[in-house]
Structures are given as structure tokens and as C-alpha cells.
Amino acid sequence: MKSGFVNIFGRPNAGKSTLLNALMGEKLAIVSPKVQTTRHRIKGILTEKEYQVIFSDTPGIIEPKYKLHEKMMLAVKNALEDADVAMLLVDVKENWEECDQIFSALKLKVPAIIVINKIDLASEEKIKEAITFFKARPYCKSIITISALSGINKKKLINTILEFLPEGEPFYEGDDISDLNTRFFVSELIREKIYELAQDEIPYHTAVLVREYQEKNTLVKIVADIIVHRETQKAILIGEKGSMIKKIGTEARKDIESFIQQKVFLELFVKVKPKWRENELQLKEYGY
């Protein structure tokens, strides 16, 4: 039996969340073309007879500008400390030198598998150049090319990981696929809809807090607050005659029902909490 932690690192928008979802065969991490969508460290537990791999999707590595960013980078630091294997994800079209600087700065003490992503968008020559570049890096123990969006060769990727994973008993019993609770995933699915439907900076100024999660006979009643900085942002999220909040609620409810496999009654409220991204107590309340 092999068992261990495989932590996924990379720059914002390299495709870490898409890769985690593809490996798990489940939607655990929200996905958006906007950068810095992932704020938490999300673990996915993949258990088979011969192995248990605990994948960890980490926030994209950035320069912290707010306390919120500091919390996000702390999640990256913690992921570094308990990794057995690091998966370093690179968008093939990124600046490889900059990626190399980031990966070198991680000062990894564990084997690293370089995963070159989005190969469906690059020429054969470009892919070969990327392989040659990263193969020469001292931290690189193995290299794989994928397109996380259009499908991965899961077996090949898992087999590569198992080469470097230690032998040991499973860390998690049963058939759980994550160590996070349902409320967390519900708040993330609501937040994903804000990223999809609200424009510009609005998503970056919002947090979602699930206040109520009640399992009734025929459905699950969920009440959640969307936290924003300013009244103007509240007005945008509510929309004309409540059109935007209704849209967010409808779309989020569909995804939540699909995730928990139950009917859902979802109620959303928008609340203004100035400078919540800098407030230690509020960040704690919202799960950061």
C-alpha cells in the first residue's frame, strides 16, 4: 500500500483546480478564468486498493497585498511542509524562466513532477522546448504533458506519482473524498457563480458565509451571506429589481443540488462589511 500527500503548486491560472477536479473525477475546486479564484487549500482524497493519494490544490503563488492574500500564501507554505511529492504545474504558454524562479524559491525537499498543461494550445515544437527546459532543472524528477481541460491520462499520471510516494497505511478511512465539510463546498459554489456572473473587481471583494444548513424531509435549506466592501458593490450584486442576485442564486442552487444530490432551497443576502479583507476577526469568521 502506498499513501501520501501530493500538493499542486503553480502560478495563478495555470490550471491547478481543473487538474484536481480531473484527477478526482469530482468538482472539488471552483474554476474561473479570473486569477486568484482559489483562496483555500482544498484536499481531495483518492483511495484505491493499492494506494491512497491526498491531492492538495493550493492558491496560485502571488505577492501578498492584503491580509487575505497573506492567509492564501500561508496555505501554500503549509502545503510545502507536508508534501511527499510536489506537482509543479506550468501553463505551456507562460514565461518558463519566471516559473522556474518561483519553483526554485519553494526550496523543495521532496521529489517534484513537472506537469506541463494546456498542450492542446501549443505546437509540438513549443512543447518539446518546454520539456527540454524543465528537464534540466535540478528539482525536476519527472515530467508529464497534459491538457487538464480536454482530458488527462489519469492512469499515467497516477503511476508517475506512485513511483515517488512512500509505502504506508492510509491517512483517511472510509470513502470520503475531502477533509472539508459540505458547508465549505456550498460557499465555494456560490462564490464561483459570482466570478462567472459579476464583472471586473467585484468577485475579489466578496466572501461567502453559509449561515444556515438545515436538512429537512424533502430538501436542504441553505441561507448564505455574500459579504462585500461597499454599498455600490452591494447594489451591483443585487442588480436591477434583484435580477443579479436571483441569477446567482438560481445558478448556484443547480450546482449545489448536483453536488449534494438533494433538492435545495437557497436564500442569499448581500451584506456590507468595509475592509473585510484586512480584518483578522472577519477573515477568521469567513474561514480564512
CATH classification at residue 243? 3.30.300.20
32 and 151 housed in the same domain: yes
pLDDT digits (tens, 9 = 90+) for 4-44: 999 988 887 888 888 898 888 888 887 877 767 777 778 89
Instruction: Give me the pLDDT at residue 75, please.
Output: 67
Q: Examine the fold and report which residue of 134, 164, 194 is the final residue of a domain before the chain moves on.
A: 164
Is residue 259 assigned to a domain?
Answer: yes
Q: Give the CATH number for residue 154.
A: 3.40.50.300
Asked which of 164, 195, 212 is the last residue of a domain, the reply is: 164
Same domain flag for 186 and 121: no
**Same-domain pairing of 233 and 143:** no
Is 85 part of any domain?
A: yes
Distance of CA 62 to the CA centre of its chain: 15
Residue 173 within any structural domain of the chain: no
Same domain, 39 and 155: yes
Count of structural domains, the chain:
2
> Are residues 11 and 103 both part of a single domain?
yes
pLDDT the model gives residue 280 = 83
Same domain, 26 and 149: yes
> Same domain for 41 and 124?
yes
Range of the domain at 10: 2-164
Residue 110 lies in a domain: yes
Confirm whether 176 is domain-assigned. Answer: no
In this structure, the answer to whether residues 156 and 43 fall within a common structural domain is: yes
What is the pLDDT, as a whole number, of residue 209?
93
The pTM score is 0.80
* 151 and 36 co-located in one domain: yes
pLDDT of residue 180: 82
- What pLDDT is attached to residue 220? 96
- Give the residue from 99, 133, 164 where a domain finishes: 164
Same domain, 147 and 276: no
169-184 pLDDT, tens digit per residue, is: 999 987 888 888 899 9
Residues 69 and 195 in one domain: no
Q: Please check whether residue 50 lies inside any domain of the structure.
A: yes
List the chain residues with pLDDT less than 70.
35, 59-66, 72, 75, 79
